[in-house]
């Protein structure tokens, strides 16, 4: 089943918007890598190969257990992970250092020619799309080449569902190309079925994010960093966004009134914001040290800027309290389970659309502190730093949720094995 008339309209819109699309991805590049990858010009890959697509760094981090499991389960296969962003590419590169069978390419833009060219050169035996990455022409090209397609950890927020409903005829035809969809919650499954996903090809498997298993090395480096920071109140704000950093610096300023030695580890979500956030700290007369400088924060340091990639877990592990960004501003939040898995109490703002099911699970276990605004955040930080038993309780409750909810990885691997056994 092709995309039909909805697909023709979609392709026409792509060509009309191509200058804007190309401008947006132009900056998402790594030195030494050709932008021709965006049009499917990649070297011919060695077979046999499994292809996994993750949008950006957050999805790569969430998919790490799956990446490791695929490499273990299919030792005769190579694994190519594609991303849209340079930050995601960097994270794949870090993982590839642990396995010569893991490679990275940038995902081609969803033009028919680019999709066909990419698949001809990659020649994967299976295609796995992570979360909400549904590209009509790529999926159609997979179907034309009889490449089994799975969408795993599939999620669709209420807001995203309303947007996709406007193009339901296109989404129905796109989802018809999916052989198996592994939804992370019943609500996500219902939304995908509302867009036309065939019921008999979709299953609820739970969230893969619970299967995050930080390495002993990440724990060790986190403890080592904490020793270097000394005995002082330390909180980390991870994956922050524009408009949020100002609020977090305000909360830190208020916290310093009660705890003068308090240190904020501030970790912007996107590397292009590292320098502007450092300048923001200086403008607000905060004593800031950059992690990339190699300097150890001194007693007078008020902000430690996490301007490096791939270190968020160990930065969480070095803190007493974690605030997860993208939640004081209407972004939809980020992975609440990363600090939970590292044994750190979790605070978030009110905007958690992208992680509503995980937030509900943590909330039910009384393992999540939600604040409506920066005033409440500052007050909550002061209260928690004054209450070590409550911090310990929150830490154990959050870790308990992660341990109890594990298991999606096994269900996903079982489904992929059944789907792909005839080729792999």
Query: String of b and e for 48-72 (b: at least 16 CB within 10 Å)?
Result: ebbbbbbbbbbbbbbbbbbbbbbbe
pLDDT given at position 1:
59
Segment (H or E) for 164: helix 158-165
Q: What is 25-206+407-420's CATH number?
A: 3.40.50.11720
CA distance 285 to 37: 43
d(CA 275, CA 35): 25
Q: Tell me which of 28, 59, 133, 311 is the catalytic residue.
A: 59
Helix (H, G, I), strand (E, B) or coil at 407: coil
On the 0-12 / 13-18 / 19+ scale of CB atoms within 10 A, 43 is: exposed
Domain ranges of the chain: 25-206+407-420, 216-405
How far is it, in rounded angstroms, from Cα 365 to Cα 400? 9
Q: Are 327 and 333 in contact (CB under 8 A)?
A: yes
DSSP string of 189-239? HHHHHHTT--GGGEEE---GGGG----HHHHHHHHHHHHHH-SS-EEEEEE
State how far the Cα of 233 lies from the Cα of 247, in Å rounded to an integer: 19
Q: Do domains 25-206+407-420 and 216-405 have the same CATH topology?
A: yes
At residue 303, φ and ψ (nearest 5 deg) are -135, 130
Q: Strand ranges (DSSP E) for 297-405? A: 303-305, 321-324, 346-348, 369-370
| Nearest Cα to Cα of residue 136 among 189, 181, 173, 85 | 173
Q: Which residues of the chain have pLDDT under 50?
A: 424
Q: Which residues contact 349 (CB under 8 A, 6 or more apart)?
A: 327, 328, 329, 333, 370, 371, 372, 373, 377
Count how many residues are written for the chain: 424
Report the pLDDT value the prediction gives residue 423, as an integer from 0 to 100: 56
Residue with tokens 């109890």: 404
| Residue 390 confidence (pLDDT) | 98
Q: Does residue 403 carry a catalytic annotation?
A: no
Q: Over the range 121-158, which residues count as b (16 or more CB within 10 Å of their CB) and which as e? A: ebbbbbbbbbbbbbbbbbbbbbbeeebbbbbbbbbbbe
Answer whether 184's CB lies under 8 Å from 36's CB: no
- Looking only at the bridges linking them, the beta strands covering 369-370 and 346-348 are parallel
Residues 347 and 100: their CA atoms lie apart, in Å, by 38
Q: Which residues pair with 126 in a beta bridge?
A: 50
Q: What is the pLDDT of residue 410?
A: 96
Q: How far is CA 324 from CA 105, 144, 247, 248, 405, in A?
A: 29, 42, 13, 11, 20
CATH class of 216-405: alpha beta
Q: Which two tokens stand for residue 177?
A: 């190309």
Give the per-residue pLDDT at 420.
Answer: 80
pLDDT on residue 215: 87
pLDDT at 149: 97
């Amino acid at each position: 089943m092709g995309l039909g008339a909805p697909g023709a309209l979609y392709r026409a819109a792509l060509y009309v918007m191509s200058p804007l699309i190309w401008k947006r991805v132009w900056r998402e590049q790594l030195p030494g890598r050709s932008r021709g990858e965006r049009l499917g010009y990649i070297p011919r890959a060695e077979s046999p190969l499994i292809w996994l697509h993750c949008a950006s760094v957050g999805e790569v981090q969430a998919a790490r257990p799956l990446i490791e499991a695929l490499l273990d389960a299919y030792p005769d296969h190579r694994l190519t992970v594609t991303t849209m962003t340079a930050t995601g590419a960097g994270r794949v590169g870090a993982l590839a250092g642990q396995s010569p069978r893991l490679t990275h390419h940038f995902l081609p833009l969803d033009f028919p020619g680019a999709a066909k060219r990419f698949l001809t050169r990659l020649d994967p035996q299976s295609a796995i799309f992570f979360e909400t990455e549904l590209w009509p022409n790529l999926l159609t090209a997979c179907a034309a080449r009889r490449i089994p397609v799975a969408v795993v950890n599939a999620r669709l927020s209420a807001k995203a569902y309303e947007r996709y409903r406007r193009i339901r005829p296109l989404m129905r035809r796109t989802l018809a190309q999916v052989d198996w969809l592994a939804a992370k919650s019943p609500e996500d499954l219902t939304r995908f079925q509302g867009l036309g996903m065939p019921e008999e090809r979709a299953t609820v498997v739970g969230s893969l994010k619970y299967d995050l298993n930080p390495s002993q090395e990440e724990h060790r480096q986190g403890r080592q960093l904490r020793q270097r920071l000394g005995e002082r109140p330390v909180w980390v704000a991870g994956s922050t966004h524009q408009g949020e950093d100002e609020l977090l610096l305000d909360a830190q300023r208020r916290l310093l009134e009660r705890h003068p030695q308090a240190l904020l580890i501030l970790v912007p979500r996107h590397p292009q914001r590292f320098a502007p956030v450092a300048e923001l700290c200086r403008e607000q007369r905060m004593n800031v040290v950059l992690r990339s400088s190699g300097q150890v924060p001194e007693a007078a340091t008020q902000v430690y800027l996490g301007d490096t990639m791939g270190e968020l877990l160990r930065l969480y592990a070095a803190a007493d309290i974690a605030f997860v960004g993208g939640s004081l501003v209407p972004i939809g939040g980020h992975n609440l389970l990363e600090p939970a898995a590292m044994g750190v109490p979790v605070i978030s703002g009110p905007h958690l659309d992208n992680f509503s099911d995980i937030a509900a699970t943590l909330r039910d276990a009384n393992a999540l502190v939600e604040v409506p605004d920066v005033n409440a955040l500052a007050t909550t930080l002061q209260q928690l730093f004054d209450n070590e038993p409550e911090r310990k309780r929150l830490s154990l409750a959050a870790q308990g949720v992660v341990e109890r909810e594990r298991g999606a990885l096994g269900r996903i691997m079982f489904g992929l094995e059944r789907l792909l056994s005839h080729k792999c």
